[in-house]
Amino acid sequence: MLPRCLGKSSTLEILILMFNSFNGDIPPFCAKKNSLKLVGLGYNRLQGKLPRSMADCTRLEFLNIGNNQISDIFPSWLGVLQVLRGLILGSNAFHGIIGKPPTNHEFPNLCIIDLSNNLFSGMLPSKYMENWNFMKYVVANKGSQYFGSQYISTNKYTYYIVVSYNMIIHVKGVELTYVETPYVLRLIDFSSNRFEGEIPASIIGSLRALYFLNLSNNTLSGHIPSSLGNLTALESLDLSQNKLSGRIPGSLAQLTFLEYFNVSHNHLWGPIPLGQQFGTFLEDSYQGNSGLCGKPLSKKCEGSESSRLPPPSSFEEDEEAGFTFEFDWYVVLPGVVSGLVVGVVAGNTLADKKHEWFVETFRRRRKSTTARATRGRRT
C-alpha cells in the first residue's frame, strides 16, 4: 500500500512510483499546503477512487494514474487546477458520461489528455474541449517556464524535458534529442471507450495545435468533419473502429504533417482523397469500409466519383451537425464528476508498438526541421 504520509508532505514536488505493484487506495494528497508538481502512479495495481483532495494540489502540472484499477467517474473536480498540463487516466475502470463542466474555464492549461481504455460513455466531452485553449493556439517556442529538468512519461509516450527546452524521446535505450519546447505536444486520446454520437465539428476544428488525436474503438457516428482539415499541426489521426459514415473529407489532404491516418472499420464510402500525405497511407488504413474507392485500394472509383471532387459534407453541414450536437448535449445533461488522478514520469522501458511509432515519428520530424522552422514551430 502507499504510505499515508506521502500525501502529507508540504515540500515534495515530484512523486514517481510508476511500474511497481502498489495496491489498495490512493491516500489523500495535498491535505496541507503543498508543492506537488508531478505525480506518477501509473502501472501499479491501485484501486478505489481518486482522492478528492487532489483538487487542492494547486501546483500540479502532470498527473499519471494510467494502468491501474481505479474505478471512478471523470474527475471534473480537477478542472480547477490552473497549471495542470497532462492528465493520464488511460487503462483503468473510469466510467459514466462526462457531463458539462461546472464553469467555462475548467482545465485551462491542458495539453495532454489520455482517457483511453476505460468505460466512459455518452457524447464526447465537447463542452470541456471548448475550454482547452492550449490546444487551440500553436505556440512558437515559448519555453518551458513551468519545468526545470524533469523526466515525464505518459503511458504511451515517454519523454524527458530538460532545462534547455529539449525533449529527449526515450525508447528501448535509444535517445533522441528533440529541440522543441516540451509543451508543444498536444494530444487527445479518447480511444477504446464507449463514446457515441457525432464528432463535434466546430469544436474539434478549433483545436488547431493538436498533434495527436485518437478516437478509435468507440461507437462514434455521423461524418468525419471536414473541419479536421484545419488542424494543421496534426501528425496522427486514428478514427478506426467506429460507425462513421459518408466520405473522407478532401480537406484532410491539407494536413501536410499527417504521418499516421487510420479510418478502417467504419461505414465510409466514396473516393479516398488524393495528394500530399494521402499518397503515403497504405491499404490497411482503410480496410473494413466497403464503399471506399481509389488509391491505394484496388477498387477504382466510378467515372463521376473523381477523387478531386469536394466531399458532399460541406462545412455548413458540419456546423449544423455541431449545433444539433450541442442541443443534444443539454438533453444529456451533466451528472458527472469526481475521481482522482495521477500521472507522470518514469520508466523508459515501455516498448509497445505505439511507442516505436511515436519515436519514429519524432525521428522523422527532426529530419523535416527545416520545413517546419519556416512556420516558427521548430528551432
Ligand X SMILES: *[C@@H]1O[C@H](CO)[C@@H](O)[C@H](O)[C@H]1NC(C)=O
For ligand X, the closer CB: 68 or 240: 240
Pairing of strands 166-171, 158-161: antiparallel
Footprint (CB under 6 A) of ligand X, residues 96-135: 116-117
Q: Is 240 in the site for ligand X (CB under 6 A)?
A: yes
For 373, half-sphere exposure in the C-beta direction (CA atoms, 13 angstrom radius) is 8
Q: Pattern 306-345, binding to ligand X, x per CB under 6 A?
A: ---------x------------------------------
How many residues touch ligand X under the rule CB under 6 A: the total is: 25
Q: Is 216 in the site for ligand X (CB under 6 A)?
A: yes
Give the residue among 200, 73, 183 at the shortest CA–CA distance from 133.
183
Least gap, CB of 300 to ligand X (angstroms): 21
Q: How far is CA 339 from CA 173, 198, 233, 322, in A?
A: 35, 26, 32, 29
Joined grid coordinates for residue 357: 511509432
Least gap, CB of 25 to ligand X (angstroms): 26
For ligand X, the closer CB: 30 or 234: 234
Least gap, CB of 201 to ligand X (angstroms): 7
For 357, half-sphere exposure in the C-beta direction (CA atoms, 13 angstrom radius) is 11
* Residue found by looking up cell 478505489 in the block: 48
Task: Show the beta-strand stretches assigned E in 29-162.
Answer: 38-40, 45-46, 62-64, 86-88, 95-97, 112-114, 119-122, 150-153, 158-161
Local structure of 170: helix, strand or coil: strand
Give the residue among 204, 212, 197 at the shortest CA–CA distance from 229.
204
Q: Pattern 267-286, binding to ligand X, x per CB under 6 A?
A: -----------------xx-
Q: Note the helical H segments in the chain.
A: 126-129, 201-206, 315-332, 353-367, 369-373
End-to-end CA distance of the chain: 45
Footprint (CB under 6 A) of ligand X, residues 353-372: 354
The residue within the footprint of ligand X, chosen from 62, 74, 178, 260 (CB under 6 A), is 260
User: 168: burial class by Cβ within 10 Å (0-12, 13-18, 19+)?
Assistant: middle
For ligand X, the closer CB: 263 or 346: 263
Q: What's the one-letter identity of residue 127? A: K
Least gap, CB of 216 to ligand X (angstroms): 4
Q: What's the one-letter identity of residue 231? A: L
For ligand X, the closer CB: 34 or 313: 313
The residue within the footprint of ligand X, chosen from 44, 158, 191, 361 (CB under 6 A), is 191
C-alpha span between 127 and 150 (Å, rounded)? 32
Stretch of 25-33, 70-78, 223-231, 296-304 contacting ligand X, by CB under 6 A: 223-231
For ligand X, the closer CB: 34 or 289: 289
**212 DSSP β-pair partners:** 187, 236
The residue within the footprint of ligand X, chosen from 155, 241, 289, 307 (CB under 6 A), is 241
Stretch of 106-114, 179-187, 222-230, 336-344 contacting ligand X, by CB under 6 A: 222-230
Q: Is 289 in the site for ligand X (CB under 6 A)?
A: no
Q: Is 265 in the site for ligand X (CB under 6 A)?
A: yes
For ligand X, the closer CB: 131 or 227: 227
The residue within the footprint of ligand X, chosen from 192, 218, 289, 348 (CB under 6 A), is 192
Interface residues toward ligand X, by CB under 6 A: 116-117, 191-192, 205, 214, 216-217, 226-227, 229-230, 236, 238, 240-241, 251, 260, 262, 264-265, 284-285, 315, 354
